[in-house]
Amino acid sequence: MTDTSTRRSFIASALAGSAVLLAGCAAGTAAPSDVAPAATPKPVILVVSFGTSYASSRHATIGAIESDIREAYPDYDVRRAFTAQIIIDHIEKDTGRHIDNFEEAMDKLVAEGVKEVIVQPTHLMDGYEYTDIKNSLENYASSFEKCVLGAPLLASEADQVAVAEAIKSSMERYEDEHTAICLMGHGTEADSNALYATMQDVFTSLGYTNYFVATVEATPTFDDVAQAAKAAGFTKAVLRPLMVVAGDHANNDMADPEDPESFVSVMTAAGFETSCVIEGLGQLDAIDEIYVSHVADAIASA
């Protein structure tokens, strides 16, 4: 189920810059005057995502973000990189198509002589994955005239409110006095896990007291949300991922009724009439616009 408009098709292949090799001239012989100098490669926006092996979600979420960035910045070459090698390997085995990991993508930019690169992650927060990108990028900084890392989705209070409003708008059709809207994030051992509690506070402060935030691998837990929603008097629950893509976590950790530890099973066992919306945040136009704005901020800071 989705309340977003049909997204335009995403063209996955990025334009590859080319290097021009000039043959050496004999000593003392000038190069012909009509030979044009090698063109300077276009600046690049490298969109870096964790990735997903679910092709439909990959196109509807990561592809949509990349497409919106490409439309907003036509003077830039927009490229893709994933950080999850297991997903890269799975896609290549399944389709024969290789997606660069971060280092491969950056090495290509260096080899092509690109002068300016904006790295825009699609991660929700500055957890371990984002920190890994930041640390790795430092090794490449001297290879470019401009090299800037964009902010993750929930980088500021304004971002957090905008994300809450976007989710609220997308879920209004499921709301009634009996229904809790339960969002499932990934969770992390990093300090940034506190952002899930922050998002819970944001929903509450906006008056959206029927919204509850849980995580797969940290806190708040599924049981925490089941107890909170029951204490608030709700008898039904609609679950959706608080994740950019709707991949393995959404389909299995959230929505698999055969897994007794899944979110849907925990909520059902707690007595809720439960259903699932398997949509990634990247399917929401308002979410994609936040990433576009973060690219703008990165370009302005370069």
pLDDT confidence band for 39 (50 / 70 / 90): confident
Regarding whether 191 and 269 lie in a shared domain, the answer is: yes
295 in a structural domain: yes
Q: Does residue 44 sit in helix, strand or coil? A: strand
State which residues form the domain around 205: 157-281
13 in a structural domain: no
Q: Does residue 238 sit in helix, strand or coil? A: strand
pLDDT of residue 170: 98
Q: Please compute the mean of the pLDDT values over residues 199-211 and round it to a whole number.
A: 98
Name the catalytic one among 90, 178, 186, 249.
186
Regarding whether 270 and 234 lie in a shared domain, the answer is: yes
Regarding whether 277 and 175 lie in a shared domain, the answer is: yes
Handedness of CA 68, 159, 190, 239 (dihedral sign): negative
The predicted-structure confidence for 209-257, as pLDDT tens digits, reads as follows: 999 999 999 999 999 999 999 999 999 999 999 999 999 999 999 999 9
- 111: number of Cβ within 10 Å: 11
133 token code pair: 């990108």
CATH number, domain containing residue 188: 3.40.50.1400
The answer to whether residue 186 is catalytic is: yes
Total number of domains in the chain: 2
Q: Distance of CA 85 to CAs 52, 73, 261, Å?
A: 11, 28, 27
Instruction: Look over the chain and give the mean of its residue pLDDT values, rounded to a whole number.
Output: 90
Q: Please compute the mean of the pLDDT values over residues 161-183 and round it to a whole number.
A: 98
134 in a structural domain: yes
Regarding whether 290 and 269 lie in a shared domain, the answer is: no
The predicted-structure confidence for 144-159, as pLDDT tens digits, reads as follows: 999 999 999 999 999 9
pLDDT of residue 37: 55
27 in a structural domain: no
